[in-house]
Amino acid sequence: MSQTTELPTLTKKDLTSDQEVRWCPGCGDYAILSTVQSVVPELGGPREDLVFVSGIGCSSRFPYYMDTYGVHSIHGRAPAIASGISASRPDLKVFVMTGDGDALSIGGNHLIHALRRNVNLTIVMFNNQIYGLTKGQYSPTSELGKITKSTPAGSVDHPFNPVSVALGAEASFVARSIDNERAHLSEVLRRAAEHEGTAFVEVYQNCNIFNDGAFDAVRGNKEQQIRLEHGEPIRFGADGERGVALAGTGELTLVDVAAVGEDALLVHDAHREDPGLAFMLSRLAHTPTGPTPIGIFREVSRPVYGQALQAQIDDAIARRGPGDLAELITGRDSWEV
């Protein structure tokens, strides 16, 4: 984002476009929109440097509601289009707003390659574990056995764990939050947006029409929420009475803090180069029915694709001077007739 000398003066209102919001009443998307509109001004930087890119899906309508630059592209391709924007214009702040179908079904490959490359993008994936816009088919995050329009006898395919996928794809920033947990979501989104490189945020989002209550077990429920805080022992439960410890065999176990003592708990280290532990944490709740970690799993620094590309250009110009077109097309082996 380009430097401004003035303090940021954007307000939520500045970011609200004049377009009627066309989500179903009660959809979790509203809360995410509102939170994004509140968080973005805090980042500083002018509105004209903001770009929101999306694919297709209910969630992908997001850019229309932001009074910024925006592209509502085609299904699954937002990470690619956004990569072109970000790589060619490192001065911009580029967001990708996407759904579980858009990002992990048709768009899975672009997603993992963006993560691998570490393009400067903030990817926010609205996971409602369903295809909303096409009226309720199961998605790659739907639980096994899911009964939907396209699986009347229950789905037979094992879902992805989006955090695991991202970590397996070399992501430098991976987090998870929940649509209506505003404070948590704000903090996660702010950190994600400030991250240099590709930040991937999974947001549990309620689709009250086709998959209502999918995350009720986790939402607001302290028993089922493991809030990850860098540098802190991993505790959860109504009063933090439970915790996560590492067995010598290399398995994570859920323990009673009183029984094992706080020192036995694993201390969360989001900045660790090795994504192994973050990955193990991601497995803790394969579906949001067991205690499920939310927060930042991983946050490490790695060269950023667009910057590295630009550095090669700067370096070439520094060494050879700016290109001379006549010289280029004439080449070294020309002759006069």
Partner 1 sequence: MTKTAEKVDTVTIRFAGDSGDGMQLTGTRFTSATAAIGNDLATLPDFPAEIRAPAGSLPGVSGFQLHFADHDILTPGDDPDVLVAMNPAALKANLGDLAPGATVILNADAFTSQNLKKARYAADPREDGSLEQVRVVEVPITTLTVGALEDVPDLNKKQKQRAKNMFALGLMSWMYSRPTAPTLEWLREKFASQPTVAEANIAAFEAGWNYGETTEVFDHRYEVAPAQLPSGRYRQITGNLALSYGLVAAADRAGLRLFLGGYPITPASDVLHELARHKSFGVQTFQAEDEIAGIGTALGASFAGQLGATVTSGPGIALKAETIGLAIAVELPLLVLNVQRGGPSTGLPTKTEQADLFQAVFGRNGEAPLPVIAAATPGDCFHTAIEGARLALRYRTPVIVLSDGYLANGAEPWRVPDVDDLPDLRDDAAFTTEPNGPDGEFLPFLRDEATLGRPWAVPGTPGLEHRIGGLEKAEGTGNISYDPDNHHRMTELRQAKVDRIADDIPPLEVDEGEGPGPRLLVLGWGSTYGPVAAAVRAARREGHAVAHAHLRHLNPFPANLGEVLARYDRVLVPEMNLGQLRTLLRARYLVDVQGYNRVRGLPFTTRELVEAIAAQLTDVDADR
Site of interaction with ligand SF4 (CB under 6 A): 23-24, 27, 29, 58, 128, 132, 207-210
Residues 95-134 that bind Mg ion (CB under 5 A): 99-101, 128
Q: How far is the CB of 298 from ligand TPP (least distance, A)?
A: 23
Distance of alpha carbon 76 from its chain centroid, rounded? Answer: 14
- Find all residues with CB under 8 Å of 220, minimum gap 6, and list them: 178, 180, 181
Among the listed residues 172, 155, 134, 149, the one whose alpha carbon sits nearest the alpha carbon of residue 287: 155
Report CA torsion sign: 111, 112, 114, 118. positive
Among the listed residues 162, 264, 164, the one whose alpha carbon sits nearest the alpha carbon of residue 203: 162
Distances in Å between the Cα of 179 and the Cα atoms of 22, 220, 313 are: 17, 11, 41
Q: How far is the CB of 20 from ligand TPP (least distance, A)?
A: 18
The 3-state DSSP class for residue 186 equals helix
- Closer Cβ to Mg ion, 76 or 99, answer by number: 99
- Closer Cβ to its own copies, 39 or 112, answer by number: 112
How many whole angstroms separate alpha carbon 323 and alpha carbon 216? 59
Q: Do 299 and 173 contact (CB within 8 A), yes or no?
A: yes
Binding site for its own copies (CB under 8 A): 105-109, 112-113, 116-118, 140, 144, 153-154, 156-161, 164-170, 246, 248-252, 266-267, 269, 272, 274-277, 279-280, 283, 302-303, 305, 308-309, 312, 315-316
Segment interacting with partner 1, rule: CB under 8 A, options 76-84, 180-188, 236-244, 294-302: 76-84
Residues 99-158 that bind ligand TPP (CB under 6 A): 99-102, 126, 128, 130-134, 139
Residues 80-119 that bind partner 1 (CB under 8 A): 80-89, 91-92, 105-106, 108-110, 113
48 binds partner 1 (CB under 8 A): yes
Please report, in angstroms and rounded to a whole number, the separation of the first and last CA atoms in the chain.
52
Q: Which residue's entry shows tokens 């209506």?
A: 180
20 is in the binding site of which of partner 1, ligand TPP, ligand SF4, none (Cβ under 5 to 8 A by kind)?
Answer: partner 1
Summarize as ranges the residues that interact with ligand TPP (CB under 6 A).
56-59, 75, 99-102, 126, 128, 130-134, 139
